[in-house]
Amino acid sequence: MSIIKSIQIPQCVRGFESGSDSFDIYIEKGHIAGIEPAQAAINSGVSQKQMLLPAFVDLHLHIDKTFVVDEVGAAEGDLFAAIDRMAQHRDGWSAEHIETRMERALQEAYVNGCRALRTHLDWMTKDAPKSLAVFEKLRDAWRGKLTLQCVSLTPLDFFDDTFNGEDLALEVATANLTCDQKRGEAALLGAFVYRNERIYDKLQRVFDLAIKNQLNLDFHVDEGLDVDARGLKAIAELTIKNNYQGRVTCGHACSLAMQSDEDALATLKLCFQAGIHLVALPTTNLYLQGAWNRTPIERGITRLREAREAGVNCSIATDNVADGFYPYGSYNPLASYALGVQMGHLSNPLDWLSSITSAPSKAMNLPWDGLIREGCSVNDLLLVQAGDARDLMNAPLLQRLSTI
Ligand SMILES: [Zn+2]
């Protein structure tokens, strides 16, 4: 048995009750065998500069189109220009090109303390894109280190009379069947939703396909600052109407920040009733939203504080890395969290660690809820050189407990 002495475990990642802040951790056969209030800290009163954290979960990524910014250029605030540019570039992708970039993304995510992630895959035809087979190969190769989920990303307008989505949903369902679901792997159906005409009809079509094929849903919704972008409300209403509570994730929801308090809070109440998993994407939103011809005033981040207050399960994720949508960044959940804390004035920051640990674990239905308790595997735990929230903002060193 080995012992790690006098280490902090922040309250919001604890799966046990204790009045202490510092703990001695007993490890046996690769698992936590015991957690006791630290004797040394009690005696000395000295705060220790180490935290034990659950490994991170990144709920919203795009590893199919990452690391192409040198070739496509950066969009500087024009989301729809970025969509067009990336669409042209995508036509030239080979499986080899995709695999090299995806592998690099997964390596980075792992080094930066990830244990699970969900990526969207651009999906513009009824047949599966090249990236799906590459994703599945890497998902199998990384099994045991990273748990991977994928989502089909298709413009909502494709789900209308001319493209009813039947074949697409079948392909996603087939991909879902190849998953090791006990480990939390999954393939989901998704769509890009922004101020579409007949939005309820098209969204209902997506719900019909999800229900028929037993798929969970993940939407890009309201990624813009137009007050009348109200896709989140429509999705929450349809989730309740279709009895799909707890099975729907919504990313972005930027326009919620532009709406009146009354409207926004009413939508968040619906989101709570629908069990929607809300995910904020600070890096991409900060870059793409707000003015580029003057200093930007809007921040683009959704109303995380009000959402949590309303009982909504809130995550923070990384979104695009080095592509036409966002030219900077890396696969580093802690960096995304640190930016989110600052953009959203999330206080106390330590209470928001759940946004990259237990909240996305819940959204992804992972077998472990991301809370530290006896029995946890050392593979899923991180030793972080941080004594407080300020240290966490400052790119602290971290190690997997299994490597110590
Ligand atoms: Zn995205």
CA 292/CA 55 separation, integer angstroms: 36
Query: CA geometry: angle at 194 spanning 192 and 200, to 5°?
Result: 90
Least confident of 77-81, 317-321, 356-360, 377-381: 77-81
Instruction: For residues 332-350, give the mean pLDDT.
Output: 95
Q: How confident is the model at residue 331 (pLDDT cuts 50, 70, 90)?
A: very high
CA–centroid distance, 22 to ligand 1, in Å, is 38
Candidates 3.20.20.140, 3.40.50.1220, 3.40.50.2300, 3.40.50.720; CATH matching 56-363: 3.20.20.140
pLDDT tens readout for residues 310-328: 999 999 999 999 998 899 9
Counting Cα atoms < 13 Å in the Cβ hemisphere of 289 gives: 25
**Is this prediction's pTM over 0.85?**
yes
For residue 342, the one-letter residue type is Q
- CA–chain centroid gap for 113, Å, is 14
Output the pLDDT for position 81.
83
Catalytic one of 36, 223, 298, 306? 223
pLDDT tens readout for residues 194-252: 999 999 999 999 999 999 999 999 999 999 889 999 999 999 999 999 999 999 999 99
**Domain boundaries along the sequence of the chain:** 2-48+372-403, 56-363
Average of per-residue pLDDT values in the chain: 93
CA 119/CA 177 separation, integer angstroms: 17
**The dihedral formed by the CA atoms of 312, 313, 318 and 324, expressed in degrees to the nearest 10:** -40
| Residue 223 annotated among the catalytic residues of the structure | yes
CA–centroid distance, 278 to ligand 1, in Å, is 13
Instruction: For residues 256-279, give the mean pLDDT.
Output: 96
DSSP 8-state code for residue 129: P
CA 85/CA 143 separation, integer angstroms: 33
Contact in structure between 120 and 220 (CB atoms under 8 Å): yes
CA–centroid distance, 103 to ligand 1, in Å, is 19
CA 309/CA 289 separation, integer angstroms: 25
Question: Which residues lie closer than 8 Å to 258 by C-beta, 6 or more apart?
Answer: 225, 226, 227, 298
